[in-house]
Structures are given as C-alpha cells and as structure tokens.
Structure 1
Amino acid sequence: MKTSGLSELEAVLAVARHRSFRAAAREMSVSTSALSHAVAALEARIGVRLFNRTTRSVSLSEAGAQFVQSVAPALSTIRDALEQAGSFRDTPSGTLRINTSTGAANQVMPLFIAFLERYPDMKLDIVTEGRMIDIVVEGFDAGIRLLETVPQDMIAVPFGDRQRFAVVGSPAYFAQHAPPRVPADLAAHRCIRSRMPSGSIYQWEFEKHGQALRIDGESALTLDDPGLMLAAARAGLGLTYLTEWNVGADLEAGTLVRVLEDWTPPLDGLCLYYPGRRHVPAGLRMLIELIREHADAKRARAARKSKPRVKRR
C-alpha cells in the first residue's frame, strides 16, 4: 500500500468508519499491517495520535475526530474531481460500493453481471446486510432496497417487479392442520418467526378491503435467515412469511403451499438509491442507465404479451 498522499487519508477515514483496522483493510483490499503502518506514518508526521487503540477496540481521539470532520468533505471533493476527469474516458473505470440486503442482491445479480460484462474496467464491491445504514457515512456510492424503506433525502431509481409476501407451509403440515382462512386463524398455528437485524421480531403484515393487521404468531422457532426459514417450513415445522421471490420455486415444485394470498397486497419493488449531490460518478450513471434500459425492455415484453393477436384469414 502506498503510504503518502490520498492513500493515508483514505486509510484514516476507513478506520474511522469501521472502528477496526482489520475491517478497514478488507474494504481497501490491503493487509492490516500495511494499513496500520500508513496510519502510524501519518500520525508520526503530524505529531498527533488520531486513534486510541486497545487490544479490543479502536476509537477516534479528540484530535482524530476533528481531523476526520475536516478531511472527509475535502476528500469527497477530490474524489468528485477525479471522477469528473475520468468521465472523459471512453468507458468508465473504478469501483462502485453498493450496500444492499442478501435477498435484494440475489435478485439483482443478473444486472450486476450484465454491468461488469458491458464495462470491464469497472469493479463492484457489494456489501449485504439486513440493517439499514447511512450509505454516505459508511462510504457507499449507492444502496439497493425496497422503495418504501429508502430515506426521503435520497434519489431513488425504481426497478423490478412489485413485491408481495406469502404465507406458506408444507403439504405435510397442512395434512395435520386446517389452512387458515383469515389472519386471526394463525393463532391456532405454529408460525416460524423472523428476527430483524435490530433484534426485534418482525410482525406479519396483512391488508384487505382497507383493513390492516399485524400478527406476531407464537412459535417455538425464531430465525433470522430466509434460507433457514424455508428449510424449516419444508420440514413441516410451521408456517413462514417470506417474499414471493423467496418461495416461488417451492410453490412451483409443490414443496410448499400458499395460504391467505388475498390478504397480502403488493408492495413497491426494489430501487437503487444514492445521495442527491451535484456530481454522480460515471460508473454509477452507467449502472442507472443499465437499470432503466432493462426496465424498459421488460415493460416492452409485457406489453407485447398483453397485446391481442389479430387472426389472419
């Protein structure tokens, strides 16, 4: 790792974001020792300790906090200037950092693949996590989430189909339990509960004819991963509540059966979002263009399918 100029400043900001030299080194694709030496060299040169280090934690010193507060906006301006200069290239280059959830990343992976095939000089750094974060503070160029969860101060680019949740259980489970007809019937069923990244239990949401309900069913099993919830439902341990995207293959194969479908209205689909700043990196602009291109193509295919065929005599 180069230990002069912008690299040292980027290293300090990365450690400040993660409160960890190891995590910062992973982000910057360098060794922990190289990053530590870079930060130490900067501290030695300016004669001030920027971080308080112990064997278990890393925190900003008072001087370090002031340094980061002053340097971060200036470094962002420099990055924007470099991006603007790079936009004159025939093809974009650099790294796009995107924060999303595991489920959303799986759905969007074909677009990521198409993007890298079209722009071979670009790199994607995709970080998946359940919790919502401040993508600006955490150093991401963009995020991908359900539209309804995106902060109001972000620019959102909707794409993809609208999402619906589904209540599903295995044929073996329904061989022993009568299918629920209304959400209140879930009180007599085993429900596989979902724990949110915050630690709270996700309440199943239902709506019909303007009546909205939230159900927190009783269960002996609580999980925090959709794959585990699917496996438990397939094994007949109870009903689970997941998106149609998660359960679609099982419904088609008959390994799971859907109930209460008329109580789960569609929600807004995924969107890419980013901060509304003056300059948008060239790579991000190209990704947005590709997303819109794919959305237009999908709408065109849907329109062709819905157009009635004219019979020829």
Structure 2
Amino acid sequence: MKSIHQSKGNDLSAFVAFLAVAAHRSFRSAAIELDMTPSAISHSIKALEQRLNVRLFNRTTRSVSLTEAGERLAIKLRPAMASVEEAVRELEGDDHTPSGTVRINASEGAIRLVLWPILARFLREYPRVHLDIFNDGKLSDIVADGFDAGIRLAEAVPKDMVAIPVMGEVRFAAVASPDYFEQHGYPVVPQDLYDHHCIRFRFESGAIYRWEFERHGAVERINAPGPLTLTDQPLMVEAAIDGIGIAFVPDHLAANALKDGRLKRVLEDWCPAYPGLCLYYSANRHVPPGLRALINMMIETRSGN
C-alpha cells in the first residue's frame, strides 16, 4: 500500500466518502448524507482503491460490505476523522453559536418520545445545526459507527459512556381487551401466561423479547407463546385492542386505551418501574456545541421548564 504522502488527489474527501459508505453499507445512502451523486461517490471510492492499490469493498447488485482491508482502514480512520471534526467544531464554536452536524443513533420509540416533541423548536432556535438522526433498533457501537450520541434505555447504555436521563421511569404493562379476558380468563402470576395467547415482540436483531416480571425480588422471564409476532410496539397495542391476545408494552403506549376501557391491565404488581431513556456519548470525546444545546433542551423539557 502506498504511503499517504505518495497518494494524489483529495484523499481527505475520499476518506470521508469511504467512511460514509462503510457506515451505511450503501453508495446511495452515503451520497444522500454527503449531498453528492452516487456516481461521484463510486468514482471517489474507485480512485481511492487505485491509489491505495487495495480493494476496500465487496460489491454486488444487492449489497455492499467491507473487505478485510476495508475493515482495518475504517477502524483506523474513524477516530482520526472524529478528531478532525472535533477540531473544526471547536473553531466553529468560538462564536458561541452551535453549528455543524450532530449525528444521533436512536430507536424509533426513543425518537418519538424524546426527540420529536422538541425537534421543530430546536431547529428553529439553532438554524446552523443539522441533525442527522438514524433510526436503529439494534444496540450499535456509536463510537465505531461515527455517531455523536445515542438514545437508549438506561440498562442498555454501555458502562464506559456518559449517560444523561432524558425521561422519567418507564413501566411495562401486560394488556388485553375486555372481550379477550372474558373468553380466556385473567392471568394471576406470570407463569399463567403460558396458557394464554400472547403478542410477541421481535428485535431487529431477530431475537424474540422475553417478558420480564419482578416482585419482592423474584424475577420471572417468560418466553410468551402466541399466534402473532411483531416488530412494532404500537401495532402490538392495536392487536391487543382487537382481541388477538395479551401484549406486553411500555405503559405510555397503552395509556389512552386503558383510560377509555378498550384495554385492561393484568399482573400490575409484577411490573415495577425501571430507569427510562438516556442520551449517552463517549466520555473520551469532546461534546460539540450543537449536541450540548440539544442535551440542554431535552433536560429543560423533561423538567418542564
């Protein structure tokens, strides 16, 4: 591989394009992020591969993946490019006006709960900040994937991260329609669920969520049986309202249906409260002014100020 001092052309922009394709596994998505055409991205990557004399991506008509050499280059480049971005951000922040791009990784539920309610206000008050929000149901490595911050339940935040609570405690609720309970009876303890129709939840990773209950220090994890599996929790609520079975969802999603009687709750004394969503970021990285402004607004919103 050639020394970087021997390479020709704008390698910095080529490295930016390379990392964008590596993050998205897509030339088209990388082009959208960088406001370039897919052909320009492809040309930049091909030119970089020629200059380095190594293939960085495996390409098919349906997928893009890093080669072993590409993986090694991405691992080395990500922290280096992050340092460059931080240096630029610090200079941009000298006038005390937040600016630049802030990349956030969050689940759809987290986006709806804590980001969406403040989104319009934030972008109105900080017009020089661009929010790049990536909907991700997996527990991605935000540092390796080039994100400034992530939003997840507190229990899912890695221990080496700075975590800031952005909502109160959360409780899960086991709910079903009154008609369902009239036909099938009420579960009294979690083990009773094995005799019921349950609406199951599948993570993006493909794993099925095991329902977790706790009372007086006793923990029960139920591999709930049932006729329906979904990857969308609001749809689980709708399915429960339609009488398909019992759903186990964050209680705020079922609040309206519980209030108007379309749903009933069971096993409530087995459903304790847990710490809610946190925004988290690496303790080893500078917090850009745009992210700091977003954090402050989320904290203010949570406290009702």
TM-score calculated relative to the size of structure 1: 0.87
| 2:82 counterpart of 1:82 | no
The answer to whether structure 1 residue 10 and structure 2 residue 25 are counterparts is: no
Secondary structure of residue in 1 paired with 2:226? coil
Post-superposition offset of 1:96: 1.1
- Distance apart, 1:182 and its partner CA: 1.9
> 2: CA distance between counterparts of 1:66 and 1:161?
41
Amino acid at match of 1:85: L
* 8 A Cα contact 1:99 1:129, kept in partner: yes
Query: Secondary structure in 2 aligned to 1:91?
Result: coil
CA distance in 2, matches of 1:119, 1:98: 16
* Residue aligned with 1:87, SS: helix
Q: Which residue number in structure 2 is paired with residue 308 of structure 1?
A: none
SS at structure 2 position matched to 1:166:
strand
Deviation at 1:278, TM superposition (A): 4.3
Q: After TM superposition, give the deviation of residue 63 of structure 1 in Å.
A: 4.9
The secondary structure found in structure 1 opposite 2:198 is coil
* Structure 2 unmatched ranges of 5 or more: 1-8
Look up the match of 1:283.
290
What amino acid does structure 2 have at the position aligned with 1:200? A
Can you list the C-alpha shifts for 1:119-178, whole angstroms capped at 9, x where unaligned? Answer: 122121111122110011111110001111100111101121100000000122122222
Structure 2 counterpart of 1:39, which letter? I
| Alignment RMSD (CA, Å) | 2.1
Distance 1:240 1:17, change over 3 A: same
Alignment identity in percent?
50
Deviation at 1:115, TM superposition (A): 1.8
The one-character-per-residue Cα deviations of 1:269-309 (angstroms, maximum 9, x if unpaired) are 111000112421111111122222233336xxxxxxxxxxx
Distance (whole Å) between structure 1 residues aligned to residue 269 and residue 275 of structure 2: 17
Name the structure 1 match of 2:219. 212
Structure 1: distance between partners of 2:215 and 2:73: 54
Question: Structure 1 regions of 5+ residues with no counterpart?
Answer: 299-313
The 5-angstrom pairing of residues 258-297 of structure 1 reads 258-297=265-304
1:233–1:59 Cα change, 3 Å:
closer
- One-letter amino acid of the structure 2 residue matched with residue 222 of structure 1: T
Contact 2:78 2:146 (8 Å CA) reproduced: no
Give aligned pairs, total.
296
TM-fit CA distance, 1:49: 4.0
Q: 2:234 aligns with which of 227, 234, 238?
A: 227
Pairing 1:20–2:26 present? yes
Following superposition of structure 1 onto structure 2, how do residues 85-234 of structure 1 map, counting pairs within 5 Å? 85-108=91-114, 109-234=116-241
Q: Give deviations 1:206-232, integer Å, cap 9, x for gaps.
A: 111111111122212122211221221
Q: Quick check: 2:11–2:48 contact (8 Å CA) kept in 1?
A: no
1: CA distance between counterparts of 2:58 and 2:144? 21
The answer to whether residue 49 in structure 2 is matched with residue 43 in structure 1 is yes
Structure 1 residue 190, shift from structure 2 partner? 1.0
Whole-angstrom distance in 1 between the partners of 2:134 and 2:236: 22
Q: What TM-score do the two structures reach when normalised by structure 2? A: 0.89
